[in-house]
């Protein structure tokens, strides 16, 4: 469920209502040592000199992925979370229910079940809220193939192995509507995902993590009509198909394992999509990749460099048009406290074929402020 073009007064009323529920609940008034309900939020504001292709932020001053979250236990066996997210799109303030799920806490044999609305376990970043990223915009891969942040209604089953090396296997059944909005054909449920994630330590200062994801999409996107006016969507995949495979690898190093002071993080991710639509002859595909290096020089300063590429066969009615795009981003972040981040980013895009809105240069200044309790983010 999404609420479009809400007024500032409506947003404030919703936030106040959530806060009131948290304050009135018995769990919120429990002793600090006992687990209870927690309320937290994040404000993400950025000024952008020029929109980037497939980007999530408007030109000028705008609200990025900002949210208010309420989470806590439902008895001993279950936990729940509710997140209301807001952002600006085309100059309008929009809000939507991003998370509303219930999850088991006591299933045996390392099993965990989640039901409701949540972010899908595909790729390295999708489970993470965008305001927790090391860059102002998500990698080109995630923006083009997952709409930046794919959350949906569904059911998830995870199994974590009882081993020294971290190993998690998961499967999800999703409605799929948030991934592909306008469809030529669709089946229910709309999407299935399979994923595996493993990782561990390499001595005292190094760690690694490898992820494999598979997405089977049963919603075929409506091909674009070149004669129709182009409308920019805030969410939903720009390029989709039946079968999407993703692989990601991350390595982190910190002196003596103290990553709060210094850390080097290198991450790469590659994705490929096959079976674009019914007109696909078997030779069409979408592919994208990203490589990032982030260096935490001190507790307060971070420097990041990322390079992205995208190859796509853009469907136009029964035809396909090749599209090529490269993107580089350089970022500097100042974090005076754990709850604040001021980030300056320079982005360049170079289009080889048919990307009319590619930004040759874009400068973005982002400020992120978190308050209250907020769940831990992924590796």
**Residue 71 in domain:** no
* Cβ neighbours of residue 100 closer than 8 Å, sequence gap 6 or more: 81, 82, 83, 116, 117
For 311, the domain range is 107-372
Q: In this structure, how many other beta carbons lie within 10 angstroms of the beta carbon of residue 10?
A: 13
**Residue 59 in domain:** no
| Domains: count for the chain | 1
The CA distance from 201 to 211, in Å, is 15
* Cβ neighbours of residue 31 closer than 8 Å, sequence gap 6 or more: none
**Residue 77 in domain:** no
**Residue 176 in domain:** yes
The CA distance from 136 to 361, in Å, is 14
Does residue 151 contact residue 99 with C-beta atoms inside 8 Å? yes
**Residue 218 in domain:** yes
* Cβ neighbours of residue 229 closer than 8 Å, sequence gap 6 or more: none
> DSSP character for 131?
G
Q: Reduced to 3 states, what is the DSSP secondary structure of residue 110?
A: coil
The CA distance from 282 to 133, in Å, is 35
CATH of the domain at 188: 2.40.160.10
Q: In this structure, how many other beta carbons lie within 10 angstroms of the beta carbon of residue 339?
A: 13
**Residue 57 in domain:** no
pTM value? 0.86
Spacing of C-alpha 50 from chain mean position: 22
The CA distance from 62 to 119, in Å, is 23
Phi-psi region of 245 (alpha: psi -120 to 50; beta: other; left: phi over 0): beta
- pLDDT tens sequence for the chain (379 residues): 443 444 444 434 443 443 444 344 343 344 444 568 999 999 999 999 999 999 989 999 999 999 999 999 999 999 999 999 999 988 899 999 999 999 999 999 999 999 999 999 999 999 999 999 999 999 999 999 999 999 999 999 999 999 989 999 999 999 999 999 888 888 999 999 999 999 999 988 999 999 999 999 999 888 875 555 455 455 689 999 999 999 999 999 999 888 888 999 999 999 999 999 888 888 899 999 999 999 999 989 999 999 999 999 988 877 888 899 999 999 999 999 989 999 999 999 988 655 556 668 999 999 999 988 766 667 7
**Residue 92 in domain:** no
The CA distance from 376 to 379, in Å, is 9
**Residue 67 in domain:** no
Structure tokens at 74: 């439902």
């Amino acid at each position: 469920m999404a609420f479009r073009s809400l007024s500032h007064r409506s947003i404030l009323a919703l936030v106040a209502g959530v806060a009131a529920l948290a304050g009135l609940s018995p769990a919120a008034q429990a002793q600090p040592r006992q687990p209870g309900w927690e309320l937290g939020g994040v404000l993400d504001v950025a000024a952008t000199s020029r929109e980037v292709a497939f980007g999530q932020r408007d030109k000028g001053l705008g609200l990025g992925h900002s949210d208010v979250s309420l989470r806590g236990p439902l008895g001993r066996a279950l936990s729940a979370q509710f997140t209301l997210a807001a952002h600006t799109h085309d100059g309008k303030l929009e809000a939507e229910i991003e998370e509303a799920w219930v999850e088991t806490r006591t299933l045996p044999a390392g099993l965990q079940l989640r039901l409701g609305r949540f972010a899908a376990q595909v790729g390295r970043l999708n489970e993470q809220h965008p305001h927790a990223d090391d860059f102002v915009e998500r990698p080109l891969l995630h923006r083009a193939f997952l709409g930046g942040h794919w959350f949906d209604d569904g059911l998830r089953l995870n199994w974590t192995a009882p081993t020294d090396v971290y190993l998690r296997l998961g499967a999800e059944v999703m409605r799929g509507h948030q991934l592909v909005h306008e469809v030529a054909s669709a089946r229910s449920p709309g999407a299935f995902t399979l994923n595996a994630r493993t990782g561990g330590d390499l001595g005292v200062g190094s760690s690694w993590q490898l992820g494999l994801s598979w997405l089977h999409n049963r919603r075929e996107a409506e091909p674009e009509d070149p004669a129709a006016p182009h409308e920019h969507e805030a969410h939903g995949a720009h390029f989709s198909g039946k079968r999407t495979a993703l692989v990601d690898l991350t390595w982190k190093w910190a002196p003596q394992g103290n990553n709060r002071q210094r850390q080097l993080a290198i991450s790469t991710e590659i994705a490929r999509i096959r079976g674009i639509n019914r007109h696909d002859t078997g030779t069409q595909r979408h592919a994208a990749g990203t490589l990032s290096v982030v260096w935490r020089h001190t507790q307060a300063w971070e420097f990041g460099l990322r390079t992205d590429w995208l190859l796509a066969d853009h469907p136009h009615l029964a035809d396909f048009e090749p599209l090529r795009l490269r993107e580089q981003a350089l970022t500097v972040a100042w974090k005076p406290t754990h709850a604040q981040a001021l980030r300056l980013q320079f982005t360049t895009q170079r289009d080889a074929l048919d990307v009319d809105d590619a930004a040759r240069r874009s400068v973005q200044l982002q400020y992120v402020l978190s308050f209250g309790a907020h769940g831990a983010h992924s590796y």
